[in-house]
Structure 1
């Protein structure tokens, strides 16, 4: 077998990464007190050892020297942190590392032939789950979420609506007050306020449309990958589910029974595997147009408040009326945020009121300085 210098360098780079992976998983296993999780980490280490052996064999086949790599400084630090603070403390970091390695083997024919890309995807899924799971959460709640019985879409939509209205109110209040500070006349302030409302709402809507659409397209692509793997490699997908449930604390028998129950229903299996991949199911991908329109309307609802008084009055009265109307709106938004924070209504409302009025006062002052210096 022949190999180019670039191939040999790639083999060595892969070998170094796998040595790090083995050391990391062994360190996590040594630090883990839960026997189920310890077994999961040891299985992952064994998987990485298979990967390591592949690259060692490739280097020997082409007559290249096999380096004696040692674990990197980063891996040694993560191992120390795991021993000192527990594996849960480093799981989010490892999850990001696994996500960055998600496609590292997709374009390497030797790795594809040995099914390494599927292993990397499995590792990434597992650590995403470990990173977002809490040890105090009952195991049956975690499994119910994995099986798609818990939905949080309504709460997230309400939260987005409140924050969208807050963005519109604070940003347009600052704009209106900044222009009003220069005292260019009611028509100019009104034009600026309406322009700011329209520009901000369109920008928010477009950004939301792109975000949701991109997420849906990524989900659709991943769904196709999962569907193919479920058809071509059902046994491997079953073992992946078993591994995930073992990581959650189930023993081997319970984990396998749960995985078998899910795999018995192809659609449920597909939904569960996709949820592990992207953290959502097919009905949670969202509608881009609904998201865009909702974003446009909620931003506009907040942004119109400081503009409304200028439809009727101007000058000092307009500034005062706009400030009062916005103050009421700011307090209301702050009070609504307590739905998520649990803080007192007076505290949250007053805090939002203070920040919003402070921002508007600053822009009003800047506008006044500009107006004086330019003679407006």
Structure 2
């Protein structure tokens, strides 16, 4: 495709960035393909090849204005750097998240097929990441639960002790604060861990946007075959199904997309494999609980006392809670900030409640 109209400076800058991002995404898929073999490798190389169509679209539109190569967006640079060194489900989840944020639906210079392609790419990556997500669910739940419980319970204990004034009733205060902190922390930790596991598994369900995008795919050039291959079909079956679906869409464009055109990324993983081993879950829970529980007491171990120590402990725990929440969000394809704030609110809610109860016991004179 070529353009007879010279782009404005603003358009040229935007299109050059799109061109850089398409090239960066193709490179991400090539990096990931280097760390895989068999069908997964073929699928990733197929995605890299598909990005060339989008790249060529912007080259043709820019014409003489293509200029020198520009840097891709920060998101693509980060994903590219990780893909070059790692091939884990974490990198696949980041790439899936990047594809879901395509600007082409709001870009007049992009075709409807390009926007549809990006949604299909998201589904291909969802299929590739599904098995890794299923395998890590059990131990991941134990790790999230252990880290959250260690962080929240010990911060709550420290805050509860501070609220009492830690006078002559220190032993009783420790028992009460420990009981309250444990109950609140267990409730918060169980909620977070179960929700995290549910979100990881829910990330394998097809998005409604990708399902709707099928009607805009080209007949000869599309990635629908790659979606079916990422769901476990052999090449011949995937090609036949893609041809059948697109032929039906072309014959009756006014009808809804046929049922089964965009299957969920469900994988047949043994239940024990999905849950993880007992030893693995136990070691994850132990290690992450110990690591999390150490953070609230670090200021006191370093010699700090009083409210300065409490403030430092709260800041450190808040950062740790947000990190664990954002990791859950990234792996499940959800907004990382929203998950981080949810983790922070629940953790600080439990600690704040214990602190207020400590104040109440201290003010009542029950603790000496």
Q: TM-score, normalised by structure 2?
A: 0.48
TM-score w.r.t. the length of structure 1 is 0.47
Q: Which has the higher contact order (CA 8 A, sep 6+)?
A: 2
